[in-house]
Chains A and B, each alone.
Chain A
Amino acid sequence: MHAPRRFKKAFMAQLLLSLRAAGQASKSMGLRERRDAVRLSSDVAMALASSARARPSAARSTAWARALVARHAAEQRNEALLRRIMGGAGYEMAAAAAAAARVRKEARSRRIVRRSRRVCSAAAAGRKRRSLLQLAAGSGGGSRCSAMVAASRMVKARLQVLRSLVPGGEAMRGLSLLTETLDYVVCLKTQVELLQCLCKGSRSQLG
């Protein structure tokens, strides 16, 4: 599955726009900031292009695009650049999404802490019973069962890694995660391709 040429063109246009915006700001930047600006603008361009592509067919999911922009918007220093790239309203939306994500994360961690506290308090009482249960489970399952458990654990661990790689993937389960990954990988591929183009072009421009 390759990205269609139309999408590539739209992506490239968006990329050039946002890079120009970054270039206006980058006059006083050091190398590293400039790199971050390039990264940010290419990411935002990817997100915008992919959500623009997704508009005709609603079935395509672009949660990762929103999450990507929100992730960038969560950092304060990106504000000026993002405002310039996406416009004021777009930035407000992204920042709101980032804030919402932060709130969700806080709530989640609070919940985790609460639960773990409850578990800790209950642990003293229930330890014996639980160990018995584990024993029963261990003895009940044969080798086949343990293999199954190991396999599913491996898959789960990898899915966890994948979840951390795909932006916005933390909130997803298996199916939607895979769908998002599909879309994200296609877009990443295109991004790499276009950036390579730009690099080559710049180099040939240099001589």
Chain B
Amino acid sequence: MNCGPPDQLPPASAPACFLNLNWDQSMAAATAGDHLDPALSSMVSSPASNSTAAAATDGLALHGISPQPQYGGTPLSSPPKLNLSMMGQFHHYPPPQVGGAAPSGLPILENLMPMAHLDQFLADPGFAERAARLSGFDGRPGGSGYGGAVPGQFGLPDADPIDALKELELGNGRDESSVSDPASASAEMALKGPSDGNAKKRKASGKGKGKDGPGSTAAKDLAKEESGGKRCKSADESNGAEDNSTKGKAAQSNSENGGKKQGKDSTSKPPEPPKDYIHVRARRGEATDSHSLAERVRREKISQRMKLLQDLVPGCNKVVGKAVMLDEIINYVQSLQRQVEFLSMKLATVNPQLDFNNLPNLLPKDIHQSCGPLQNSHFPLETSGAPLPYLNQPHQGNPLGCSLTGMDSQSSMHPLDPAFCRPMNSQHPFLNGVSDAASQVGTFWQDDLQSVVHMDIGQSQEIAPTSSNSYNGSLQTVHMKMEL
């Protein structure tokens, strides 16, 4: 982990990282759906917790709402130790990720630290200048000094920066708010009060970016002068301000965040983990009070769950609409429950002793292994007692019932199941008697069967019809009743 000061970074990596931020933001909407594997989604459900991963997912989800929060920086007046810690965090990133060279494999964790990146670079005078040089990146895809890899990354988000710009121009400081809304708003006001240059600068840079191109650099220079003159609490801060002037959004989020830290900040933990609050913004025209924001977060989570369920439930992919989707889910759950019922019935019938010791290995591949000579003791009982109720059905066609087909037709019994189980329940005492009788007969016949057991399995299947034939009469009466 390289903890050196950030200006020792190779100059190429710094703007790339900036870019990466931007790219990240624009991809957030796309990745919100895709990267949500179950683990992460389960973490989403946790409220704004300390765990950084949860913060990451939340951030990811929320960035889908509006692109701006990624530009948040830590307060300008934050203590230097904060910067150090964030530096550490920043350098956690392996270089390729920082460079953003792999567009597809952008890790979600990247979202963790956008503020860290920014703040990191804000605190760095050398970077500020570099960023000033390169600051046209937002409006002009494939800007001046980026090298080969950059335009590729930049071509991607094309639509999104425009959105961001629009939002910047239109709703600057009025429309956005965060969950810790009042705090940030008041903080912004507070910052606006003492240094009016901040607001002016924001406006100027916003305009510059809106025009995109050479005009933006001019505006930036102007703003740099302004803010550089007005805000100089410390060297770091002034540098940060310069950088702010180069990037209107950065300035704004900086002031916001600074305000958040200065003002009463309930949701976010103090200095070290700067992201454990949920950062959510309202789009233009949306309500900004905390209740509706929380409601929006909730709705977002619900739609994520729905998406996951949609993946889970077969045939749900094509369906549009919440009600229809819920219908599908309900059907699926019901069918699964019914299936469990049927299977337990079948299991109780097929294997009345519920003795699975003999089954060699029940993981799917090994099922079809025959069980060999192990089954001597249980075999007669099972053949004679258990499958009888099911064997009734094939007996319908031919009462003499060659149940070689009967045994196999159990798989074809599935569709018959509901029709079969219901009368079964209603006829319960009667059938019970029969099955008990069957088991008795089974034990009675056991001695005879013992001699047969040593035959092959295929042959021993024929025992079943012979045994069932003997009380075929009673079974058929049962069956008559069941057909009612």
Cα A38 to Cα B340 with chains together (Å):
10
Q: In the complex, what residues of B have CB within 8 A of residue A57's CB?
A: 39, 42
Write the nearest CB–CB distance from A140 to chain B, whole angstroms: 21
Please tell me which one of the listed residues A19, A166, A185 contacts residue B313 in the complex, with CB atoms under 8 A apart: A185
Q: In the complex, what residues of A have CB within 8 A of residue B235's CB?
A: none
The verdict on A132 contacting chain B, using a C-beta distance below 8 Å, is no
Please tell me which one of the listed residues B38, B43, B367, B425 contacts residue A200 in the complex, with CB atoms under 8 A apart: B367
**Contact A206 to B350, CB < 8 A, known contacts A57-B42, A154-B323, A174-B302:** yes
Closest chain A residue to B375, Cβ basis: A205
- Asked whether A23 lies within 8 Å of B308 as measured between CB atoms, the reply is no
**Contacting residues of chain B (262-311) with chain A, CB-CB under 8 angstroms:** 298, 301-302, 305-306, 308-309, 311
Q: In the complex, what residues of B have CB within 8 A of residue A30's CB?
A: 428, 432, 435-436
Q: In the complex, what residues of B have CB within 8 A of residue A174's CB?
A: 298, 302
Please tell me which one of the listed residues B45, B345, B364, B375 contacts residue A175 in the complex, with CB atoms under 8 A apart: B45
**Contact A207 to B460, CB < 8 A, known contacts A32-B432, A198-B356:** yes
A interface size (C-beta, 8 A): 63
Q: In the complex, what residues of A have CB within 8 A of residue B432's CB?
A: 30-32
**Contacting residues of chain A (142-183) with chain B, CB-CB under 8 angstroms:** 151, 154-155, 158-159, 161-162, 165-166, 174-175, 178-179, 181-182
The verdict on A119 contacting chain B, using a C-beta distance below 8 Å, is no
B 299-340 to A, binary, CB cutoff 8 A, 1 in contact else 0: 001100110110111000000001100110110111011011
B 375-417 to A, binary, CB cutoff 8 A, 1 in contact else 0: 1000100110001010000000000000000010010000000
The verdict on A51 contacting chain B, using a C-beta distance below 8 Å, is no
Q: In the complex, what residues of B have CB within 8 A of residue A178's CB?
A: 302, 305-306, 309
- Asked whether B305 lies within 8 Å of A179 as measured between CB atoms, the reply is yes
Q: In the complex, what residues of B have CB within 8 A of residue A34's CB?
A: 348, 352, 354
Most chain-A CB neighbours within 10 Å: which of B46, B330, B341? B330
Q: In the complex, what residues of A have CB within 8 A of residue B45's CB?
A: 59, 61, 175, 179
Write the nearest CB–CB distance from A155 to chain B, whole angstroms: 5
Q: In the complex, what residues of A have CB within 8 A of residue B341's CB?
A: 39
- Asked whether A165 lies within 8 Å of B343 as measured between CB atoms, the reply is no
The verdict on B355 contacting chain A, using a C-beta distance below 8 Å, is yes
Most chain-B CB neighbours within 10 Å: which of A20, A38, A57? A38
- Asked whether A188 lies within 8 Å of B375 as measured between CB atoms, the reply is no
Please tell me which one of the listed residues A38, A61, A189 contacts residue B336 in the complex, with CB atoms under 8 A apart: A189
- Asked whether B347 lies within 8 Å of A204 as measured between CB atoms, the reply is no
The verdict on B461 contacting chain A, using a C-beta distance below 8 Å, is yes
Cα A198 to Cα B349 with chains together (Å):
12
Write the nearest CB–CB distance from B358 to chain A, whole angstroms: 6
The verdict on A203 contacting chain B, using a C-beta distance below 8 Å, is yes
- Asked whether A201 lies within 8 Å of B356 as measured between CB atoms, the reply is yes
Most chain-B CB neighbours within 10 Å: which of A27, A199, A206? A206
**Contacting residues of chain A (1-23) with chain B, CB-CB under 8 angstroms:** 1, 8-9, 12, 16, 19-20, 22-23
The verdict on A101 contacting chain B, using a C-beta distance below 8 Å, is no
Q: In the complex, what residues of B have CB within 8 A of residue A27's CB?
A: 353
- Asked whether B349 lies within 8 Å of A31 as measured between CB atoms, the reply is yes
Cα A24 to Cα B364 with chains together (Å):
25
Q: In the complex, what residues of A have CB within 8 A of residue B368's CB?
A: 200, 204
- Asked whether A205 lies within 8 Å of B359 as measured between CB atoms, the reply is yes
Q: In the complex, what residues of A have CB within 8 A of residue B356's CB?
A: 16, 19-20, 198, 201-202
- Asked whether A199 lies within 8 Å of B460 as measured between CB atoms, the reply is no
- Asked whether A204 lies within 8 Å of B337 as measured between CB atoms, the reply is no
A 43-59 to B, binary, CB cutoff 8 A, 1 in contact else 0: 10000000000000101
The verdict on A74 contacting chain B, using a C-beta distance below 8 Å, is no
- Asked whether B322 lies within 8 Å of A155 as measured between CB atoms, the reply is yes
Write the nearest CB–CB distance from B386 to chain A, whole angstroms: 8
The verdict on A195 contacting chain B, using a C-beta distance below 8 Å, is yes
Closest chain B residue to A31, Cβ basis: B435
Cα A24 to Cα B167 with chains together (Å):
70
Write the nearest CB–CB distance from B367 to chain A, whole angstroms: 5
- Asked whether A201 lies within 8 Å of B367 as measured between CB atoms, the reply is yes
The verdict on B31 contacting chain A, using a C-beta distance below 8 Å, is no
**Contact A175 to B305, CB < 8 A, known contacts A195-B340, A204-B367, A206-B383:** yes
- Asked whether A185 lies within 8 Å of B332 as measured between CB atoms, the reply is yes
Q: In the complex, what residues of B have CB within 8 A of residue A111's CB?
A: none
Closest chain A residue to B346, Cβ basis: A199
Please tell me which one of the listed residues B311, B348, B407 contacts residue A31 in the complex, with CB atoms under 8 A apart: B348
Q: In the complex, what residues of B have CB within 8 A of residue A22's CB?
A: 354
Cα A205 to Cα B351 with chains together (Å):
9
- Asked whether B362 lies within 8 Å of A198 as measured between CB atoms, the reply is yes
Please tell me which one of the listed residues A42, A154, A201 contacts residue B359 in the complex, with CB atoms under 8 A apart: A201
- Asked whether B407 lies within 8 Å of A197 as measured between CB atoms, the reply is no
Most chain-A CB neighbours within 10 Å: which of B306, B326, B424? B326
List 13 additional A-B contacts (Cβ < 8 Å) besides A23-B353, A178-B306, A179-B45. A16-B362, A19-B354, A20-B355, A23-B354, A30-B436, A31-B431, A159-B326, A182-B312, A185-B329, A192-B336, A192-B343, A197-B364, A197-B367
9 interchain pairs (CB within 8 A)?
Answer: A31-B435, A35-B349, A39-B341, A155-B326, A174-B298, A184-B333, A185-B332, A201-B359, A207-B383
